[in-house]
């Protein structure tokens, strides 16, 4: 999860402190829509599996807790 948090901080330089596991990353636009596919790429790279956006829902990307559970649990 460190790489995910680092990516979010890199994209949001004004962000102070850690990001809450339940913070709504989409609604607060910590993941800007222009960067969304880059975020998906990052998750694919970390997890080593491809993500089918036809199968996913927006809630799968909404919080760090959900991202961990949905995509990164196997990667630890």
Rounded to whole angstroms, what are the CA distances from 71 to 1, 2, 13, 24, 26?
11, 14, 25, 17, 16
Residues 6-65 that bind another protein (CB under 8 A): 26-29, 33-38, 53, 56-58, 61
Closest approach of Cβ 67 to another protein, in Å? 14
Nearer to another protein among residue 20 and residue 27 (C-beta)? 27
Q: Is the separation of the CB atoms in 35 and 29 below 8 Å?
A: no
Shortest distance, position 76 Cβ to another protein, whole Å: 26
Name the residues that contact another protein, by CB under 8 A: 26-29, 33-38, 53, 56-58, 61
């Amino acid at each position: 999860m460190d790489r995910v948090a680092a990516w979010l901080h890199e994209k949001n330089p004004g962000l102070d402190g850690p990001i809450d596991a339940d913070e709504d990353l989409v609604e607060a636009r910590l993941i800007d829509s222009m960067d969304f596919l880059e975020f998906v790429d990052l998750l694919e790279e970390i997890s080593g599996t491809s993500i089918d956006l036809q199968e996913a829902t927006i809630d799968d990307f909404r919080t760090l807790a959900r991202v961990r559970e949905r995509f990164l649990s196997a990667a630890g």
